[in-house]
Amino acid sequence: MISVNTEKCIGCGQCVKDCFLRDIEMVDSKAKINNVTCIKCGHCIAICPKAAVSTDEYNMKDVKNYNKEEFLVDADNLLNFIKFRRTIRQFKDKDVEGNKISKIIEAGRFTQTGSNMQDVSYIVVKDGLQELKALTLESLKKLGENMLASLTPQTMFKRYAEMWIKMYEEYQENSNENDRLFFNAPVVIIVTANSEINGALAASNMELMTNALGLGTFFSGFFVRAAQGNKKIMDFLGVKEGKQIITCMVIGYPNVKYLRTVPRKEADICWK
């Protein structure tokens, strides 16, 4: 539960004003958290000028006091950083350090979630990558064969079906040189969640951290498609009950260097 240290509390009422769920009231000029409608969002912890609010459900060591030097990000630099990101499919034969993987997951852990569900989980695959590749390519091959067996004039994904079958065949010929699934990246992080939106938001911040660490990534939609309804893959990964695979981040050190940003379509904006 969340509690208030009444000796520290000065009764400023900032936590009361900022509590969206109205779970805080003033009693004898001190803040009192009722812990009835509270969703443990932590706004009261963040806003208190005297650090009088705490919780016994989470690690309070996560709490850091704001200072401009360590927290402020220049807006123009951030925009350029976002514009410069590229999907990476060329990776060096180099392992990704554990501390960097931890920072990427931290970026996901501190991403906002609806109703503060904090329902996002992470599956890191390193030693089991070869087995995961085999399971995924087998699944894609079967999906492709089924699609080609029932072609109609309206079939939109014939080229994908043919590509998946070819990917499987080439991998069988030479698994080291013909990895068109994960491109010989050393690590994969699979993001799962109860809410698709929560998982996608976390993955977006994780990508920013990946790039900030000098790494590269791409989101494998092929893997997500292969894993859907595939018991072998889900059991291998140990996906928790009630959760779905949202994204698959293929991560490694880039073996390619880009020199500039690229153009995009104009933003589709409707002003009212």
Q: How confident is the model at residue 222 (pLDDT cuts 50, 70, 90)?
A: very high
Q: How confident is the model at residue 157 (pLDDT cuts 50, 70, 90)?
A: confident
Domain 75-130+180-252 adopts which CATH fold?
Answer: NADH Oxidase (3.40.109)
The residue with tokens 């939609």 is 221
Contacts of 11 (CB under 8 A, 6+ apart): 26, 29, 30, 31
Give the residue-averaged pLDDT of 155-165: 87
All structural domains of the chain with their residue ranges: 2-62, 75-130+180-252, 135-172
DSSP assignment of 144-166: HHHHHHT--TT---HHHHHHHHH
DSSP E strand stretches across the chain: 2-4, 24-27, 30-33, 53-55, 121-125, 187-193, 216-219, 244-252
Give the residue-averaged pLDDT of 23-35: 97
CATH code for 2-62? 3.30.70.20
Is 236:128 a contact under the CB 8 Å cutoff?
Answer: yes
Q: How confident is the model at residue 158 (pLDDT cuts 50, 70, 90)?
A: confident
**Tokens at residue 202, please?**
């976390």
Per-residue model confidence (pLDDT) at position 42: 97
Per-residue model confidence (pLDDT) at position 210: 98
Per-residue model confidence (pLDDT) at position 103: 98
Q: How confident is the model at residue 150 (pLDDT cuts 50, 70, 90)?
A: confident
CA dist., res. 239 & res. 230, Å (int): 11
Does the structure show a pLDDT above 70 at 184? yes
% of the chain at pLDDT higher than 70: 99
Position 166, amino acid: K
